[in-house]
A and B are shown apart, each in its own frame.
Chain A
Amino acid sequence: MKISWLRIWCLVTFEVLRLFTTKRGLLALSAFATIWFIILYYFVGSASSMITSPSFESMASQLFGALGLTALLDWPVAEYAIYWLVAVYFFPSFALLVCSDQFCSDKHRGTLRFITLRTTRAELVLGRYLGQLLIIAILILLTSIATTLLASMRDVTLLLASLKIGAKLSVELLIVVMPFIALMSLLNTLVNSARLAIVAATLFFALGPLVLAFIQYQFGQVFYLNWLFPGEQISSILSQNGTATSQYLLPLIQTALLLITSHWLMKRASL
């Protein structure tokens, strides 16, 4: 299979344009900015005073300890402890919404007929995926920079430590989000609208565990089918307590499998 990176780059840049030049994209950006303003201002910004205040310290230790997150309390930049806890759940959910229309509406409208005369279906799937990934990466980076600024404003000596931990968490967040975007790519091959893709994703995450529990109950053994679900490793990486590299292999493998399936279906789809 011959892939042109030039055409993929074209598709990627057009996806970024879609976010910054269309009404829908700008609306999503505004919603994102508003939510993150609230998170940063009320939670991340006051994280240090919350975590270090004597009255809160014991409560936070108990709470974080109960959740297995005591390692987060040892971080030099308290802002990032709160940032990580929020972002690791926020970005996957946000990705499901923002990346819900990778090509389903284009397919429904017939626009893909113009595009597939100029690019292969593999390039289309990969280009659109990478475009969405780039958008999420930009947004993660922006929130990470904002957190660094907040921490540095409190104590300028934290700048270096903030930059270091911010870069590390940004990469980790991106890896966490990758299979979620790939899942939306796969769902886009099956449905004709972004709304349906979101509904399908919701059903997948809501009914999936029930189906797994039923299978386990029926056959009386574990099939590790839960590994099929994006975000399966989040609870393990949440504590950041000596996270093993293998925890990041799962989302990468899930991403590859989802994208391969998406391409396989797309290749056979009638446009």
Chain B
Amino acid sequence: MSLIIDVQQVTKRYGDKTALNKVEFSLEKGAPVALVGPNGAGKTTLFSLLCGYIQPSSGKISILGHTPGDSALFGRLSALPQDAQLDPRFSIAMQLNFYARLQGMSNKFAQKDTARVLDMVGLSDALNSLPSELSHGMRKRATIAQALLGSPEIVMLDEATAGLDPANAREIRAIVSEHASDVNFILSSHDLSELERLCDQVLYLDNGQLKHHQTLGNNDSAGFLTLRMKQIYPEIMPVILQIPGVSQVTMTQDKEYLLTVSNEQGKLSIEMELLTALASNNWSYTQLINGKTLENQLF
């Protein structure tokens, strides 16, 4: 496995405020990586450092063996920075064509690639529209399209699906999962279920510090089942506790239960008994998850 990102003891200060404090991690080529954390945790600062928009106060960052902002990364690293907007005075196609030519494409190829990426995000009809003529969601998709120009090796998407309607958010997720084998995606989002579906690794930032760097579906989560019900059934917890192999049941949030399974080998029979118990009591469930949800793993 080759190292794509290596962050060593990176600190970023804005005056007295420390946005990132001695953050250290390395990422290898592979499935998408999720960057999560509460507001103000330092996610966007980390993105900005990785893209070379800002310089670290101390520490070292290496991306594909180069420092951020190095010309060797042009066309290899792309990003959707949060809150960045296209120039309102030029059509979407004209701007994307310009970016593609900056990446080294010929004018003809740049036009072709612009059409390709706009088609990917469902904006073929808006090729010659000005950004001001598009809705917020469409503008967002246009900025996602610029991140897909050429054949980047690393794509960083900061809050890519925020502000998109469910259908378009799904399209973006489909693009990520479709290209996940060729492109190393790094995604930041507050939608944990989205990240859970797409990502294999999670970087959890809190208050400028990296709290977790873990692989999803690892052994920590193996001895658990998560059950989501359609509605609240007051008697459900004692019933579940009676199932052999279930040592503990906790209500993690409204209509959601975390089952601690003492016997991992017999998980299948526990699941079957659980479903039988639910059916016999006429209780409707919405989801049975093998392991902990990302939310329960992190918080």
Contact = CB atoms under 8 A, between A and B. Distances in A.
Nearest to B83: A110
Interface in B41-71: 48, 51-55, 69, 71
Contact of A111 (B52, B74, B84): B84
Contacts of A7: 102
A113 B103 CA distance: 14
Interface in A4-54: 4, 6-7, 10-11, 14, 17-18, 21-24
A271 interface: yes
Contacts of A6: 104
Given A117-B51, A118-B102, A270-B54, A109 B89 contact: no
B57 to A, nearest CB: 12
Interface in A106-127: 106, 109-111, 113-121
A168 interface: no
Q: DSSP class of A's interface residues: helix, strand, loop or mixed?
A: helix
Contacts of B94: 17, 21
Contacts of B101: 10
A4 B103 CA distance: 11
A113 B99 contact: no
Interface residues of A, number: 29
A110 B81 contact: yes
A120 B102 CA distance: 10
Given A116-B69, A117-B77, A120-B69, A110 B89 contact: no
B53 A114 contact: no
A111 B102 contact: no
Contacts of B102: 7, 10-11, 115, 118-119
Contacts of A111: 84-87
Contacts of B53: 113, 116, 270-271
Interface in B83-124: 83-87, 89-90, 94-95, 98-99, 101-104
Contacts of B83: 110
Contacts of A17: 90, 94
Contact of B71 (A2, A113, A115): A2
B89 A23 contact: yes
Interface string A232-271: 0000000000000000000000000000000000001011
Contact of A117 (B54, B79, B89, B95): B79
B108 to A, nearest CB: 15
Given A6-B104, A268-B55, A270-B53, A117 B87 contact: no
A271 B68 CA distance: 13
B71 A114 contact: no
B161 interface: no
Given A6-B104, A22-B89, A271-B53, A117 B84 contact: no
A109 B87 contact: yes
Interface in A198-246: none
A120 B74 CA distance: 9
Given A14-B98, A119-B74, A22 B81 contact: no
Nearest to A7: B102
Contacts of B104: 6
Nearest to A127: B102
Nearest to B149: A118
Contacts of A21: 90, 94
Contacts of B90: 17-18, 21-22
A127 B135 CA distance: 32
B84 A10 contact: no
Contacts of A119: 74, 102
B146 interface: yes
B52 A114 contact: no
B32 interface: no
B201 interface: no
B78 interface: yes
A113 B86 contact: no
Q: Which of B71, B81, B85 has the most CB of A within 10 A?
A: B71
Nearest to B85: A109
Contacts of A114: 81, 84, 86, 95, 99, 143, 146
Given A111-B86, A118-B75, 18 more contacts: A6-B104, A10-B101, A11-B102, A18-B90, A109-B84, A109-B85, A109-B87, A110-B83, A110-B84, A111-B85, A113-B81, A114-B84, A118-B102, A119-B74, A119-B102, A120-B71, A270-B48, A270-B53
7 contacts: A4-B71, A17-B94, A109-B84, A109-B85, A110-B81, A117-B73, A271-B48
Interface of A: 2, 4, 6-7, 10-11, 14, 17-18, 21-24, 106, 109-111, 113-121, 268, 270-271
